[in-house]
Chains A and B, each alone.
Chain A
Amino acid sequence: MKAIFWVAFFYINMIKYFTPFEKISKFQKTIILISWLVLLIVIWFATTAGEKHLFPSPGQVLKGFTELYKEGLVVHIFNSLQLCFISIFLATIISLLFAYTWPIPVLKSIAEFITKFRFLPFTGLSFYITMVIHEARTMQVWILVIFLTTFLTTSLIAVIKDIPQEEFDHAKMLKCNRWEVLWQVIILGRLDYVIDVIRQNLAITWMMLVTVESIVVASGGLGFLIKNSDKFMNTGRIIALQIIILLIGLGLDAGINFLRKAIFRYSKI
């Protein structure tokens, strides 16, 4: 009797985890997340226990980490981050210029034309860039800046398009001329969105950065390390690097989000 009671109790409690739109507590969410992680690790250990396996074992990945550290992983991470920040900074400045001039009729087409470039293949354009720029590091920076600008401009214009008409009318009602409307509603009023746009495009930046570093070899970086590991089929190192890249990306995402909330009290995106 007691056993039936416990089975029924367990069943009732478990069924909600499999029912769509069912609400669960934060603690329950954490338990579910931990369970999935444990399951993933168990699968990883189990599938790489034998002699032949496609995926590297945890031991091999750990060895990869140690090797990478000895080869100056920290310096490579620093180089990648430096490239990332310089490119984002330049691309943001250029994209903001395009986005802020988008409401001006004569310049609207230029900004919209720039957004269409995001469909162009990466390698095709980088070929022309290599013809103009000869220094490897500068080349990396400008390849990234050009491609990032297209994505950032697209996102920034989308932010402007999403501003409700009431906000423009409100500024006009306070006797703002058209330039003041642009300054107050779009530039000052959406400053926090710029940081969020950077955050949203960070995944693309990070992905492109690693690719650019592996195509144009300059001062090392994570992409360079992947390419090197790839050459010698060192799968343990590759997975170790992927984990590092993922963790840095997530860290940057969280950091930028924290920065937005800390700087802009009014920001509730």
Chain B
Amino acid sequence: MKHEYKETLLYVENLSVAYDNTVIIKDITLIEKDVVREGVHCTGQVIAFVGRSGRGKSTFFKALTGLVPTNSGKILIRDFENKEPNAAKSVKEGDIGFVDQKYTLFRHKTVTEALKFSLRKTDLSATEKDEKIKRYLKEWGLENCADKYPNELSGGQRQRTAIIEQLFSSDQFIVLDEPFSGLDVGNIEEVKKSFELLSNSSDFNTVIFSTHDIELAIELAQTIYVIGYPTINGKKEHYGTIVAKYDLRDMGMAWKEYCDDHQKLAKEIIHQMMIS
């Protein structure tokens, strides 16, 4: 299937984060562009980050979302309020949505109250907000949960609420830290469906997630980055950086059923992870 790269949505250059003089991640550079497919109405971007534990994936996500200050580098995202082509802005807290492993929600707000809260800074009228919330609750199978508190929701319902909440509040970017960890088969399917819904609802929706499940990363993502310790001049450094990138679209493996080629790629990614 033919695809075309359009404008840049995410630009990260030489990003470094250190805590108390300990460098956690360094020199992370990446560019993600909007991709349009021939004959497909909407194609959101799904990007996976894999790597062994302690290599700085979570720190990178926190830096990306503005939750931790960076020591150097810059993060730019497409400025959707500016109609100029390729208009970009620096990332501030809240520009990129972040869903953690626990699918944290406000414990004192019902699903509807939480979604209303996340829409508070938009220009929509009260009626438009109500309509938008009702539409999403229906599309995401949460109609029966509108008046429920987080402690009354199942894991899957919590996760979907957390994603919609971030989608409403952020600028079409969502980062999910290990969304599949500790989930059963049924819940994994629900998360996959959420990814599908996100991809199909806007061309600009960009989902970035980390996982330890390589096969799942290959199945869902169009770009996979491996974060690990780099080897420079024969010496293994102890900070995380991107050690490998696999663009499944250019490899002709994106948007396809899982096959032998995907299996070979999984082995290659695991090898990259093990040596870094």
Interface residues of A (CB under 8 A from B): 164, 166-167, 169-176, 184-185, 188-189, 191-192, 264-266, 268
Residues of chain A contacted by B170 (CB below 8 angstroms): 173
> Which residues of chain A come closer than 8 Å to B166, judged between CB atoms?
173-174
Q: CB of B165 within 8 A of chain A?
A: yes
Q: Could you tell me the distance between the alpha carbons of A167 and B66 in the complex, rounded to whole angstroms? A: 15
Q: Given that A265-B149, A268-B151 are contacting pairs, would A170 and B104 also be in contact in the complex, using a CB cutoff of 8 Å?
A: yes
The answer for the CA separation of A192 and B151 in the assembled complex, in Å, is 14
Instruction: Report yes or no: B107 in contact with A189, Cβ–Cβ below 8 A.
Output: yes
Chain B 103-124, CB within 8 Å of chain A: the 1/0 string? 0111110000000011001000
**A169-B62, A172-B94 known, 5 other contacts, Cβ within 8 Å:** A166-B102, A169-B104, A173-B65, A174-B117, A189-B108
Query: Which residues does chain A contribute within 8 Å of B117, judged by CB atoms?
Result: 174
Indicate whether A166 sits within 8 Å of B169 (C-beta atoms), given known contacts A173-B65, A175-B121, A268-B151.
Answer: no
A266 / chain B contacts, CB cutoff of 8 Å: 107-108, 149-152
| A188: chain B residues within 8 A (beta carbon) | 106, 108
Interchain CB contact (< 8 A) of A189 among B93, B100, B106, B151: B106
Give 1 or 0 for each of B83-97: 1 = CB within 8 Å of chain A CB: 000000000011001
Does B23 sit within 8 A of A, measured CB to CB? no
Task: Classify the secondary structure of A's interface with B.
Answer: helix
Is B60 part of the contact surface with A, judged by Cβ < 8 Å?
Answer: no
Task: Tally chain B residues at the interface, Cβ within 8 Å.
Answer: 26
B98 within 8 A of A: yes
Query: Which of A169, A172, A173, A191: most chain B CB closer than 10 A?
Result: A173
How far apart are B115's CB and chain A's nearest CB, in angstroms? 11
Determine the distance from Cα of A170 to Cα of B66 in the docked complex, in whole angstroms: 12
Instruction: Scan residues 131-151 of chain B and give those whose CB is less than 8 A from a CB of chain A.
Output: 149-151
* Given A266-B149, A266-B150, A268-B151, CB of A170 within 8 Å of CB of B105: yes
A170 to B163, CA, bound (A): 11
Contacts of B93 in A (CB 8 A): 172-173, 175
Question: Contact at B108–A169, with CB atoms within 8 Å?
Answer: no
Residues in A neighbouring B31, C-beta threshold 8 A: none
With a cutoff of 8 Å between Cβ atoms, the chain B residues found around residue A192 in the complex are: 108
Which residues of chain A are within 8 angstroms of B97 by Cβ–Cβ distance?
Answer: 173
CB of B67 within 8 A of chain A? yes
Contacts of A189 in B (CB 8 A): 106-108
Whether the Cβ atoms of A172 and B67 lie closer than 8 Å is yes
Contact of A191 with B108 in the complex, beta carbons under 8 Å: yes
When C-beta atoms are compared, the residue in chain A nearest to B100 turns out to be: A166
Residues of A within 8 A of B62 (CB): 169
- Neighbouring A residues of B105 by C-beta, 8 Å: 170
Smallest CB-CB separation from A170: which chain B residue? B104
Q: Are A169 and B106 in contact (CB under 8 A)?
A: no
CA distance A191 to B106 in the complex (A): 12
CA distance A175 to B96 in the complex (A): 10
Instruction: Please name all residues of chain A whose beta carbon is closer than 8 Å to the beta carbon of B98 when the two chains form the complex.
Output: 169-170, 173
A173 touching B169, Cβ below 8 Å: yes
- Residue of B with least CB distance to A264: B108
